[in-house]
């Protein structure tokens, strides 16, 4: 069964959601990150997905205190992304308690460095963050485009043991209109040894049921939870089956 990974996006230490990755379309929620993480833990999920949006914008982690608090208080795996642009930044994120680091811009712009990180830390701790905008990879907090396709990006790291990819269709992110299902089905079929996480567009448990029926393995849910399109009770019932 597909695993649900709840998302927490951070600006200034607070829970937010963007629409299509646009910082000008930011909605701030009242929930504290720790409170949300504790609720997710109570639901029985095994992992949470956290993005340091401040860090993504300035290419340097900005919410490490939140990470330290979560890692110290919540017994969940934490996959953390945003602003990891150097070996020092990566070390600071892992030292602060992240189970896995999500690497996006470095992988696209400095592939040799990400290859080295895969060798140094192992594929279990390194997740490729592949953010797709109009068919090509976007970087630096989704603010800049590249000429790379997701397939060209993934191909560079297979030899180094890449086993985890979070793929976000930016056009779907925060829209609550359903995911780009064909994109994920095609990627999972092309790279069966890699776990692809569906990210962007999830609007209800119906979307998750449909992805599960197609054999997809992981899915991130964010705005749908905050907007009560998916309830914590639904996540609890699903997690009990996984």
Residue 163: both structure tokens together: 């086993």
Within 10 A of 49 (CB to CB), how many other CB atoms are there?
A: 24
Of 171-175, 184-188, 190-194, the least confident? 171-175
| DSSP letter, residue 220 | E
Q: Specify the range with the lowest mean pLDDT, choosing from 101-110, 136-145, 209-218.
A: 136-145
Q: Which CATH number applies to 3-241? A: 3.20.20.70
Share of the chain above pLDDT 90, in %: 83
Quickly state the pLDDT bin for 30 (edges 50, 70, 90): low
In this prediction, residues 142-151 reach a mean pLDDT of 87
Report pLDDT for 172: 84
Long-range residue pairs from 211-216, CB within 8 A, at least 24 positions apart, any chain: 211/2, 211/179, 211/181, 211/184, 212/1, 212/2, 214/181, 214/185, 215/185, 215/188, 216/2, 216/184, 216/185, 216/188
Per-residue pLDDT for 23 more than 90?
no
The tokens describing 39, both together, are 């609720």
Question: Would you state the pLDDT for residue 166?
Answer: 98
Strand partners, 221: 6
Average pLDDT over residues 121-146: 89
Residue 16 has pLDDT above 70, yes or no: yes
Integer CA distances (angstroms), 149 to 159, 187, 235, 240, in order: 18, 12, 33, 37
Question: Which amino acids are annotated catalytic?
Answer: 9, 131
Q: Which residue, 138, 216, 137, 202, is CA-closest to 172?
A: 202
Query: Do 211 and 179 touch, CB atoms closer than 8 A?
Result: yes
- Provide mean pLDDT across the span 30-56: 94
Q: What is the mean pLDDT of the chain?
A: 94
Q: How far apart are the first and last CA of the chain?
A: 6
pLDDT 10s digits, 84-133: 999 999 999 999 999 999 999 999 999 999 999 999 999 999 999 999 98
- In this prediction, residue 141 has a pLDDT band, given cuts at 50, 70 and 90, of low
């Amino acid at each position: 069964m597909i695993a649900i990974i709840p998302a927490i996006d951070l600006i200034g230490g607070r829970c937010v959601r963007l629409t299509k990755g646009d910082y000008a379309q930011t909605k701030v929620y009242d929930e504290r990150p720790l409170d949300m993480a504790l609720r997710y833990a109570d639901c029985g999920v095994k992992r949470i997905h956290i993005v340091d949006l401040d860090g993504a914008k300035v290419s340097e982690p900005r919410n490490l205190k939140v990470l330290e608090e979560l890692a110290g208080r919540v017994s969940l795996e934490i996959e953390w992304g945003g602003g990891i642009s150097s070996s020092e930044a990566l070390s600071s994120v892992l030292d602060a308690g992240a189970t896995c680091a999500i690497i996006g811009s470095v992988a696209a712009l400095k592939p040799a460095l990400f290859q080295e990180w895969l060798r140094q830390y192992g594929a279990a701790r390194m997740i490729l963050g592949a953010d797709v905008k109009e068919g090509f990879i976007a970087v630096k907090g989704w603010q800049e485009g590249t000429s790379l396709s997701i397939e060209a990006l993934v191909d560079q790291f297979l030899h180094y043991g890449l086993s985890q990819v979070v793929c976000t269709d930016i056009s779907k992110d925060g829209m609550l209109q359903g995911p780009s299902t064909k994109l994920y089905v095609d990627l999972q079929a092309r790279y069966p040894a890699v776990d692809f996480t569906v990210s962007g567009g999830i609007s209800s448990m119906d979307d998750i049921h449909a992805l599960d029926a197609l054999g997809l393995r992981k899915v991130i849910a964010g705005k749908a939870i905050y907007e009560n399109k998916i309830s914590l009770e639904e996540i609890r019932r699903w997690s009990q089956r996984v």
